Amino acid sequence: MKRIDPVRLEVLKNAFDAIADEMALMLMRAAYSPIVRDSMDYSTALCDARGQTLAQGVTTPMHLGSFYDAMLHLMEKFADDIHEGDIFIGNDPYAAAGQHLPDIYIIEPLFHSGRLVAWATTIAHHADVGGIVPGSNALGATEIYQEGLRLPFLKLQSKGVPNQTIWDIIALNVRVPDLVTGDLRAQMAACQSCRRSFNDLVARYGIDEVLAYAEELHEYAERLTRAEIAELPDGDYSFTDHIDGLGENPEPIVFQVKVSVRGDRILIDFAGSSKQVQGGVNTPLPFTKASVYTALRSVMQSDIPNCHGFQRAIDVTAPPGTVVNSVHPAPCGARGITGYRVIDAVFGALAGPLPERVTADGMGGSTVPTFGGWHEGKPFVFTETVMGTWGAGAHHDGQVGVPHMGANQANVPIEMIETNYPLRIRRYGTIPDSGGPGRHRGGASFVREYEFLADEGVLSLRSDKAAFPPHGLAGGHCGRGPLSRLTTAEGSRTLPVLLTTPVTVRRGDVFCHLSPSGGGYGDPLDRPVAEIVEDLADGIITPAHAEEVYGVVMAGGAPDPAATERRRAEIRARGAGA
């Protein structure tokens, strides 16, 4: 057996990471659509010859944990028909182990001396893949056939020769072919970047050295993961979470999770979760597994490599035909919200054994507004994944203006929206008094307000946590739920959190979304007065809120110690009486 040099292992681990990150940067710089270029809803990875992830790019964790299932499907289908110069494309959850139809894989095999040695893999959320709504995130779809263009794994390029037929089919079936084909070519460019850099690495160290250390990296990640799990107390830890439900008369969708720790293994079981629904929030099992891996990876303290070895000590099970393990022909265009809720549910269960490593509940992932229509003689589709608010932790307030851990994405810059689309952003900022109260305060809600400037179009919306607002931990209070309002010439109305039928919008109509806020952590009355004063100075809370919730009474611009002591005693007495 070859002796493994730990220094060289670290060097090659970082080399693999650099290749995956370079792919991510290449894809972002070459992308056409705002959902890829600005929101960064895409992912890249370097995989070994068996399809196991060696390194992940800096983007979306919920994509990456499911690469392995897709790779197994691709390799089984093509077996001995994989050649240098091939490029594969696929997106279907049931025919290609994909995630949802807007997420398209572009994958290139890497060869050395005629032998398959690795894979350059990318996945990107495309602006549109057809279907019944612009953007192809159809919450009202009842089967996957309504959601857009379905692609099993196919050869987009065979031995260096492009398959023009596939390009023509894609361009004919999507609303914005210039954006979609441009983003596909950006994914191809990222794969080419991976090929060049991997070949450079092989030229420097030799193929046998690179492959040996790649295998050791998996073993090393598995050892670190098992060691961390072994430190947890054996036991079963359960939690129940929800999605509010679909449309005007929502019925809650239940997520029941049990985290079982046994020695150096973890089993995550979703038995008891809701059956799959006639709406686009169902998710195939690979995406559920990826969301579980994201949650567990985030609470582990060791510097575990982001490779497949981490997953070997973790088993994820869910009954087929449920919302977390959908079967054909269940629609799953808006399945991202289910992945976020999987993470929330696992965090809720881990709050038992790891109360200081998890945060209170946050805004539950991204709100996804989509505007589509025609403007100046051309079709347009604008989608963004608006996110940014976390719950508080045991040692810090909830963050605002940061991505969800499951999707390292960004809000599209206002200037980019207004330059490229018939939209005007009228308001964007945080809401005072909105964060869940606690010893550590939950992150504040934010507001994002869009004015529609085309003659006519449609608006779709995916949000959540109105009926089940973000929960607090350790005595912290809940955060606030969302509010989405559409104001037209006829008046103003509140929209459902999961809009199953797109609404018509016209010039001058205004869509305003207030996000959920983060839950608090710990008793609000334990929050130091100095921190309350700082929140007041920053405009995060108002004097009335400071007195009502935190018991801090202000007088002449400064806290009144005696009045504050009395007010906090009153609140404690009221709580004890309740």
Q: How confident is the model at residue 310 (pLDDT cuts 50, 70, 90)?
A: very high
In a domain, 307, yes or no: no
Verify that 10 and 45 share a domain, yes or no. yes
| Of 556, 466, 486, 512, nearest in space to 252 by CA | 466
In a domain, 81, yes or no: yes
- Same-domain status, 417 and 552: no
DSSP H helical segments within 267-393, as ranges? Answer: 285-299, 336-350
Looking at the 3D structure of the chain, how many domains does it have?
A: 3
pLDDT (mean) for 154-167:
98
Statement to judge: residues 166 and 47 lie in one domain: yes
In a domain, residue 264? The reply is no
pLDDT band at 287 (very low <50, low <70, confident <90, very high): very high
For residue 256, tell me if it sits in a domain: no
What is the C-alpha separation between 185 and 166, in angstroms, rounded? 13
Strand partners, 503: 459
User: Chain-centre distance of CA 369, in angstroms?
Assistant: 15
**One domain, residues 517 and 536:** no
pLDDT 10s digits, 341-380: 999 999 999 999 999 999 999 999 999 999 999 999 999 9
Asked if residue 552 and residue 491 are part of one domain, the reply reads no
At 563, is the secondary structure helix, strand, or coil? helix
* CATH code, 44: 3.30.450
Edge-to-edge strand order for the sheet containing 483-488? 423-430, 446-452, 510-514, 483-488, 491-494
pLDDT of res. 578? 58
Structural domain boundaries, residue 475? 360-522
Q: Is 499 helix (H, G, I), strand (E, B) or coil?
A: coil
277, part of any domain: no
Q: Are residues 157 and 22 in the same domain?
A: yes
Distance CA 365, CA 284 (A): 18
My answer on whether 391 and 472 are in the same domain is yes
pLDDT on residue 1: 45
258 within a domain of the structure (yes/no): no
Mean pLDDT of the chain: 96
In a domain, 303, yes or no: no
For the segment 109-128, the average pLDDT, to the nearest whole number, is 97
pLDDT tens sequence across 510-556:
999 999 999 999 999 999 999 999 999 999 999 999 999 999 999 98
The DSSP string of 129-140 is --SSSTTS--TT
Residue 158 one-letter amino acid: S
Are the C-beta atoms of 146 and 280 separated by less than 8 Å? no
The Cα 499–Cα 139 span in angstroms is: 7
Model confidence over 478-509: pLDDT tens digits?
999 999 999 999 999 999 999 999 999 999 99
Residue 2's pLDDT is what? 58
Q: Cβ distance 359 to 347 under 8 Å?
A: yes
Q: What is each CA distance from 280 to 144, 187, 289, 338, in whole angstroms? A: 8, 26, 18, 10
- The residues near 33 (Cβ < 8 Å, ≥ 6 apart) are 126, 127, 176, 179, 180, 182, 183
The gap from C-alpha 223 to its chain's centroid, in whole angstroms, comes to: 27
Strand ranges for 295-400 from DSSP E = 314-317, 368-375, 378-383
Average pLDDT over residues 123-142: 96
Model-wide pTM > 0.75: yes
Q: Would you say 436 and 470 are in contact if contact means Cβ atoms under 8 Å apart?
A: yes
DSSP codes, 406-457: TB---PPPHHHHHHHSSEEEEEEEE-TT-SPPSSBPPPPPEEEEEEE-SSEE
